[in-house]
Amino acid sequence: MLDGLMDKEALAFLEIEELLKKFTPSSHYGKRLLKQPRVYFRGDEEALIAHYERLSHLESLWKDCEKERIKHCLSELKNISQSVEKIENQELPTVVDFFEIKKFFFFFKRLLNLLEGVWGIAELYGLDFQPEIWTILDPRNTNQFFFSIDSDYAVELREELEKYRDLEKAEMRKVCKRLERLYDLSLKNRTEFLLERSDIRNHALRKSENCTVISENTFSVHYKVKTSNEDADYSEKIEQIKEEMAIEEIRYREELMRSLSQYTGYLRAQMNAVGELDRDIALLEYKTDYDACFPAIEKEKLTIEVEAGVQEDVKAFCQHKGFLYDPVNIRLNEGVTVIVGANMGGKTTTLKTLGQFYVASALGLPVTAGKFVSSLFDSVNCVYRTREEEGLSGFAMEVKRIHPVFQEGCHLNLIDEFGSSTNPKEGDALASSVVEYLASKASVTIFVTHFSGPLSYGNQSYQTGFLRDHDQEVLDEENLYQYIDHRLERIEGNRVPQAAIEISRALGIPQDVIEEARRLALGNTP
């Protein structure tokens, strides 16, 4: 479960729920697998590699399939878990339960027929049709998913019931004709009729044994035709047959439950296989729609490597605004990677993007990058501060959230500007100390900061948010964002880039303040 990988706050920070909504399986079973996805942890490398190999194999076969017909067939496979559970628990299923199971198997058979044209998919997922089950549910070989009690005795009872119902109808027709003749009525075999209250026939009809008054008002009287003691009465026989049919229905349902009980394990396996196939089809469609890749899983060393990584929502925003989107390119190694840069430089966005990429790979999903290579970790720890958490409360939340990064284990730590909510001197010291501590741990940590101190203690450093060449164009609030370069650039030493001063000038800070800031920044440079 996802809560074993990270807490709910981290899930929200990395927008994992929003990511999962981009995948659209056709069936209940595929949707359930994505709603409760398997998480691959450190030690599950071989299983995750096998998962991506199966996806690659399916991808090669899927292109030759009747895609829309298969997806429609998958959408018809409704949830029969509760019906199967009743059989497992020897709780007598209803007729509706058997109908749902039969309908599932009807469309399951159709699915396998569609897959027959492309050899390998059914075998890849262990999809297997058991004709014995269909024979149990469709003994008269109707080849329809409609279900009825099909025992021979039930057929005989239904035929007898119909016979007596026909006799009952014939007797009622005789009564209607008698009333028509005696009272000059035009019933046309109707068993209810109205007469105006002033009609002189009302007096006689009220006394007739073949009529009863249902209701009356100021204007009319409402009659119902019935049989009398002199007429043949088949109601008792009809009720007797109905009781026998109810007993036979229970007997037949018990027989079906016993017959199907030996196949519940098979049905569970096929329901799961359908879910896996449906989910994987959704993964392939996502991979195509978003130009994603299947990750490579690193087993020997701790690393995350991204080439041409794209956060689709951010890219869509940039395209809408007419901005250039800068893909993510970075190699993270064991220890701490420090990322520095001015505000608006995309540090936090990069941090969240890398975290989302890793979680996608740990869930067996495609990753929206040209290439993604990653180790597996025991957990993902996110340290951040929201806009609502300012001042003391914000610093307290940061400290609370950072506790897990010090625990034993191999973690992916995503730390966003730790220490920035307290005074700069202490904040720099705390941030530097955390980086120094984590630099020697068998984890991968991304540490985003404004401080220069952590640069001296990290294992490697990157900067982002520097300004592109703007050909002497005057920067202002309107055009500034399009000239901010959000690419990650490897840096050496502990000097924080000075793009913030130029950005401040573009945003309207007076020129003399800007010049003094430049002088102070240069004077403080080691």
**Which residues does 489 contact at the CB level (< 8 Å), separation at least 6?**
462, 463, 464, 466
**Which residues does 508 contact at the CB level (< 8 Å), separation at least 6?**
476, 477
pLDDT at 521 over 80: no
CA angle in degrees (0–180, nearest 5) for 25-27-28: 110
525 confidence band (pLDDT: 50, 70, 90): very low
pLDDT digits (tens, 9 = 90+) for 102-155: 999 999 999 999 998 778 899 999 999 999 999 999 888 888 878 777 665 577
Q: How far apart are alpha carbons 481 and 342 in whole angstroms?
A: 12
CATH match for 23-130+263-288 among 3.30.465.10, 3.40.50.2000, 1.10.1420.10, 3.30.70.270: 1.10.1420.10
pLDDT digits (tens, 9 = 90+) for 12-40: 999 999 999 999 999 999 999 999 999 99
SS3 487: coil
Give the pLDDT score at 526: 42
Give the pLDDT score at 509: 78
Among residues 229, 223, 119, which one has the least CA distance to residue 180? 223
Task: Give yes or no for a contact between 310 and 106, defined as CB atoms under 8 angstroms apart.
Answer: no
What secondary structure letter does DSSP report for 457?
A: T
E strands of 317-431, at which residues? 328-333, 335-340, 371-374, 379-383, 411-416
Alpha helices in 189-234 (DSSP H): 202-207
Looking at every residue in the chain, the average pLDDT score rounds to: 88
Lowest-confidence pick of 12-21, 307-316, 460-469: 460-469
Question: Per the CATH hierarchy, to which homologous superfamily does domain 293-523 belong?
Answer: P-loop containing nucleotide triphosphate hydrolases (3.40.50.300)
pLDDT at 255 over 60: yes
Lowest-confidence pick of 7-16, 237-246, 364-373: 237-246
The most confident of the ranges 89-98, 502-511, 516-525 is: 89-98
pLDDT at 445 over 70: yes
Q: How far apart are alpha carbons 255 and 252 in whole angstroms?
A: 5
Are 23-130+263-288 and 293-523 in the same CATH fold? no
* Residue ranges per structural domain of the chain: 23-130+263-288, 154-236, 293-523
Give the pLDDT score at 76: 95
Give the pLDDT score at 477: 52
